[in-house]
Amino acid sequence: MKRRSAGNYVDLGEGKYRLRYKGRSKNVTASSPRDLEKQLSSFVSEVDKGQLTPQNITFEKAAEKWMQHIVSDYEPRTRKYYREMLDGRILKKLGTKKLDQITPFMLQEFFTEMRQEVIQCKNTSRTLSDSSIKHHFAVVRSVFEACITWELYNKSNPCRGVKLGKSKKQQPKFYDDKQIRLLLDALDKEEIMFKTGVILAIDTGCRMGELCGWQWDDVNWKNKTLSVERQAQYISGTGIFDKLPKTDNSYRTIDLSGSTMKLLEIYKTDQQNKGFLCSGQAKVFVNYDGTTRYPYWLTNAFPAFLKRHGLPPITPHGLRHSHGSYLLDQGMNVKEVGERLGHGSVSSTNIYCHGYENSGKKAAEKIEKLHKKGQTLDITLDTNTSTSIQK
């Protein structure tokens, strides 16, 4: 180890060095002794000016660096969500504290308080969801992991000592085939755009953003297919914009039923009669002025529709679950259903394998068919006695 008046360095060989000063370290490449001295001097100056050292960096400063260097490549909506979590709860609790002051017990108390927090809504109150608490925890953990990587924090991640408690496993809400038929009957007298949007959601299993991102040239009338090439997204302060599908697997072509194609033709004619362009890159679902509809317009209108017709509460995204569950119940394999839904792995589709209420009876009926073949199967027992089962 070589020492100078301020700071020191370790020769790592091949022109590489590790600079050290006041608990901070930095790996550099130097072309000459003079270059090394210059870099060491600059490093010492940085540390002395208080630029993010383990002794003085607060969680807020660390979080801002995390947003700048890690989160900057994330999707706009994700960046906004992380920003809201930081500003809403995390920084209020941890922002002014130095990283070295934050202990596992302090974080344990913070997340326990979050789990007990009561949020007042319009006519009711509720606690934070398990997923929301997990997302907040993931942000704090990721900030510390980044600081460890950047050598701004030289302890183990304090999040490792935190227990969030056992989460309640919630099955996704979905409609069975009987409820889907009731829903379709209720749509008969609804406005054509709303009816078309809901039926396309049921028949394709698409996400709401994908549905609002459809252009008329995504429809192949000859092959009776609909392609997913983009999705619409809304962010306050930015507005509505198109973005790439969620994953590479989200790019897909979906075969449509004859009934769905006929409905699309009726809807297209209605839109043309209203003066809308229904070809090329024009959006399938538009406002009165031809602009893309708000991606969550179905989400906003759906609850009132269900209540009006006495149908069980479900979200438009629940129609995606209903689509997948119905196809699996009808005998399609998990891989085929996953490809139609745009999943990247079978595990993503497995959450739809919760089965219909009558799935047990259907299984029993299939087993019963084994006993009605009119054949006799002889089974010889260990006692050398013979019994027979009708197969």
DSSP string, 176-197: -HHHHHHHHHHHTTS-HHHHHH
Average confidence (pLDDT) over 292-319: 92
Average confidence (pLDDT) over 305-323: 92
- Please state which of the ranges 75-89, 97-111, 168-182 shows the lowest mean pLDDT: 168-182
Q: How far apart (Å, rounded) are the C-alpha atoms in residues 255 and 203?
A: 10
**Residue 170: what pLDDT?**
61
Residue with tokens 């090329």: 280
Q: How far apart (Å, rounded) are the C-alpha atoms in residues 167 and 130?
A: 6
Task: Please name the residue ranges forming H helices in the chain.
Answer: 33-48, 59-69, 76-85, 91-94, 104-116, 130-149, 177-187, 192-204, 208-213, 258-273, 297-308, 316-329, 334-341, 346-349, 359-370
**Residue 369: what pLDDT?**
59
Best-predicted range by mean pLDDT among 172-176, 267-271, 339-343? 267-271
Length of the chain equals 391
**Residue 385: what pLDDT?**
41
Q: Is the pLDDT confidence value at 205 over 70? A: yes
Residue type, 319: L
Q: Is the pLDDT confidence value at 383 over 90? A: no
Average confidence (pLDDT) over 85-91: 94
CA 168 to chain centre: 18
| pTM of the model as a whole | 0.65
Any idea what DSSP says for residue 19? E
**Residue 213: what pLDDT?**
93
Contact 252, 342 (CB under 8 A): yes
Best-predicted range by mean pLDDT among 24-28, 33-37, 218-222? 218-222
Mean pLDDT of the chain: 84
pLDDT tier at 53 (50, 70, 90 boundaries)? low
Q: Which two tokens stand for residue 106?
A: 């302090």
Any idea what DSSP says for residue 372? T
Q: Is the pLDDT confidence value at 137 over 90? A: yes
Contact 314, 324 (CB under 8 A): no
The better pLDDT of the pair 111, 23 is held by 111
Average confidence (pLDDT) over 254-270: 94
Any idea what DSSP says for residue 159? G
Query: Between the CA of residue 33 and those of 10, 15, 28, 206, what are the distances in Å?
Result: 13, 10, 12, 62
The better pLDDT of the pair 22, 219 is held by 219
Q: Is the pLDDT confidence value at 1 over 60? A: no
Residue type, 82: Y
**Residue 381: what pLDDT?**
42
- Please state which of the ranges 35-39, 234-238, 387-391 shows the lowest mean pLDDT: 387-391
Q: How far apart (Å, rounded) are the C-alpha atoms in residues 53 and 296?
A: 45
**Residue 335: what pLDDT?**
87
Average confidence (pLDDT) over 309-320: 92
Any idea what DSSP says for residue 238? T
Residue with tokens 């995504």: 218
The better pLDDT of the pair 220, 24 is held by 220
Selection from 282, 300, 301 nearest residue 292 by Cα: 282
The better pLDDT of the pair 374, 361 is held by 361
Average confidence (pLDDT) over 282-287: 93
Selection from 118, 107, 240 nearest residue 162 by Cα: 107
**Residue 388: what pLDDT?**
36
**Residue 376: what pLDDT?**
43
The better pLDDT of the pair 343, 307 is held by 307
The better pLDDT of the pair 105, 128 is held by 105
- Please state which of the ranges 187-191, 197-201, 353-357, 387-391 shows the lowest mean pLDDT: 387-391
- Please state which of the ranges 2-16, 194-208, 342-356 shows the lowest mean pLDDT: 342-356
**Residue 24: what pLDDT?**
73
Give me the domains of the chain, ranges plus CATH numbers: 2-48 (no CATH), 59-161 (1.10.150.130), 177-352 (1.10.443.10), 366-391 (no CATH)
**Residue 338: what pLDDT?**
87
